[in-house]
């Protein structure tokens, strides 16, 4: 222990935390005042709590491990290498130990893995006054919240819920069963955290009860844990849309090798797909040799398809993640995107055509047939943008239908898909419009 007078404030440590090495973090943590250290430890991300715990000597480690609520302790243990887990479990007190073992049986991203098994509970036959003094005793234990009070029968089955405020505002002699709500939203232990976060967002709730198949209450999930989930899920989707595997760790903290691996996989896969463009181009080598001017517009045309496809796939991915659009809505989406593709393609086609027709040195650059080249480019743009929007919007549906994550329909994935088709559309248009003129 550091015996000098130097102390550090909560804010100072929090500000510098991301920049500190593991040893500096330990040193900084020990410089906190006792009251701050508690709050600071609880505010840390699970990963940092685990690292800090393991940098502490045994006695202190036990102390801090016991500060954690059962659901947080279970999360820390899930962050710990398997061979260290038993050591950490033995540090906990008996009750928490049993609760944590039970929680570890659930998937980390299911309601069972997020829930806290300690919650406020009363019996339906209690009077409001009895319930309040019973809760007063429970409040001295480490329950997560007394905001919602759950009404359970002797078999631990969930009958209803009453907010503490309502209980508090009710008349003391009324029975709990007369003030409780029975139309309550509850979730199963297996519910996925993404579905859970949508429920929280839709209902503006502070907590949701988790029940098993027999209706027995197992714990509560509170909304403060859901804020993290929503951010985590959005980060995963964003990174997938960017064309890589989700990193699952902050950018500056993930190891270099691991980060490169998560990027190299998709990048190589996309590269292999994009090799088809070289094959496609091979088929049109003659056309390019006869009219080199056609090569000038290749990047412009294929990138326009990629851009419109990226917009469409991003819209579809996000709408599906927010449950605004379901699989069965695909037909409504495709009709909208066909219309959008035609309009957007026509806009780009018009810009491209004007650029070619109005350029002062048009005959020098594009030759005497600049008008026909202009029409080739404009009609290809309409085709490519239309194909991009339709393919981009439908790929997420296809992926979900096949059981994959729609977010894998990344901007680069869609662009790669559209590039080959874009080349085919462009050279087909050129062969039609320029036949007998340049080709």
Scan residues 70-129 and list those touching a copy of itself (CB under 8 A): none
Contact string (CB under 8 A) for a copy of itself, positions 328-347, x = contact:
-x--xx--x--xx--xx--x
Where do runs of H (alpha helix) occur along 242-329?
256-283, 285-290, 298-321
- Indicate which single residue of 63, 105, 169, 398 sits in contact with a copy of itself (rule: CB under 8 A): 169
Nearer to a copy of itself, 89 or 380 (CB): 380
Per CB under 8 A, contacts with a copy of itself among 15-74 are: 18, 35-36, 39, 42-43
Q: What is the CA radius of gyration of the chain?
A: 30
Nearer to a copy of itself, 89 or 426 (CB): 426
Binders of a copy of itself: how many residues, by CB under 8 A?
121
Name which of 302 and 430 has its Cβ closer to a copy of itself. 302
Of 209, 197, 78, which is closest to residue 144 (Cα–Cα)?
209
How far apart are CB 306 and a copy of itself at their closest, in Å?
7
Q: Judge contact between 115 and 72, C-beta under 8 A.
A: no
User: Which residue's CB is nearer to a copy of itself, number 110 or number 317?
Assistant: 317
Rank residues 84 and 271 by Cβ distance to a copy of itself and give the closer one: 271
Question: Between residues 154 and 328, which has the closer beta carbon with respect to a copy of itself?
Answer: 328
The single residue among 314, 380, 408, 421 that binds a copy of itself, judged by CB under 8 A, is 314
Which of 217, 423, 429, 433 is close enough to bind a copy of itself by CB under 8 A? 423
Residue 218 engages a copy of itself in binding (rule: CB under 8 A): no
Does 1 bind a copy of itself (CB under 8 A)? Our answer is no
Which DSSP state fits 208? E
Query: In terms of DSSP bridges, do strands 120-122 and 148-152 run parallel, antiparallel, or are they unpaired?
Result: parallel
Q: Which of 105, 250, 354, 398 binds a copy of itself (CB under 8 A)?
A: 250
- Tell me how far CA of residue 274 lies from CA of 240, 267, 363, 371, in angstroms: 18, 10, 33, 31
Is residue 242 involved in binding a copy of itself (CB under 8 A)?
yes
List strands edge to edge, sheet with 207-211: 187-188, 207-211, 217-222
Q: Own/partner pairs for 47-50, CB < 8 Å, 24+ apart?
A: 47/79, 47/249, 47/253, 48/17, 49/76, 49/79, 50/76, 50/79, 50/80
CB of 370 to a copy of itself, least distance (A): 13
> Would you call 211 helix, strand, or coil by DSSP?
strand
């Amino acid at each position: 222990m550091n015996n000098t007078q130097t102390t550090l404030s909560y804010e100072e440590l929090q500000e510098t935390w991301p920049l500190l090495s593991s040893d500096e973090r330990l040193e900084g943590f020990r410089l906190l005042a006792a009251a701050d250290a508690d709050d600071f430890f609880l505010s840390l991300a699970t990963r940092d709590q685990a690292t800090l715990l393991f940098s502490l000597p045994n006695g202190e480690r036990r102390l801090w491990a016991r500060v954690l609520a059962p659901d947080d302790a279970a999360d820390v243990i899930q962050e710990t290498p398997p061979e260290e887990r038993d050591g950490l479990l033995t540090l906990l007190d008996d009750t928490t130990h049993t609760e944590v073992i039970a929680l570890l049986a659930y998937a980390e991203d299911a309601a069972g893995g997020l829930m806290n098994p300690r919650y406020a509970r009363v019996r339906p036959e209690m009077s409001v006054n009895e319930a309040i003094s019973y809760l007063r005793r429970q409040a001295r234990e480490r329950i997560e919240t007394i905001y919602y009070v759950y009404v359970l029968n002797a078999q631990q089955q969930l009958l209803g819920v009453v907010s503490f405020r309502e209980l508090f505002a009710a008349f003391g002699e009324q029975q709990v069963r007369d003030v409780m709500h029975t139309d309550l939203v509850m979730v199963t232990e297996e519910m996925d955290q993404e579905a859970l976060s949508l429920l929280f967002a839709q209902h503006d709730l502070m907590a949701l009860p988790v029940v098993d198949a027999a209706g027995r209450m197992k714990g509560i999930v509170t909304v403060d844990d859901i804020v993290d989930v929503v951010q985590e899920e959005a980060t995963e989707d964003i990174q997938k849309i960017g064309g890589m595997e989700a990193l699952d760790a902050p950018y500056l903290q993930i190891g270099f090798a691991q980060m490169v691996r998560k990027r190299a996989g998709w990048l190589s896969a996309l590269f292999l797909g994009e090799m088809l463009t070289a094959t496609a181009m091979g088929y049109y080598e003659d056309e390019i040799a006869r009219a080199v001017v056609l090569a000038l517009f290749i990047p412009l045309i294929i990138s326009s398809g990629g851009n419109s496809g990226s917009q469409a796939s991003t819209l579809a991915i996000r709408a599906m993640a927010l449950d605004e659009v379901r699989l069965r809505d695909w037909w409504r989406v495709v009709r909208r995107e066909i219309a959008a593709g035609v309009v957007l393609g026509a806009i780009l086609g018009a810009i491209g055509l004007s650029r070619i027709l109005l350029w002062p040195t048009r005959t020098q650059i594009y030759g005497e047939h600049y008008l026909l080249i202009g029409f080739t480019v404009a009609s290809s743009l309409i085709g490519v943008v239309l194909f991009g929007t339709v393919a981009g919007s439908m790929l997420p549906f296809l992926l979900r239908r096949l059981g994959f994550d729609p977010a894998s329909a990344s901007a680069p994935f869609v662009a790669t898909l559209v590039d080959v088709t874009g080349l085919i559309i462009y050279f087909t248009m050129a062969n039609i419009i320029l036949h007998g003129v340049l080709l």
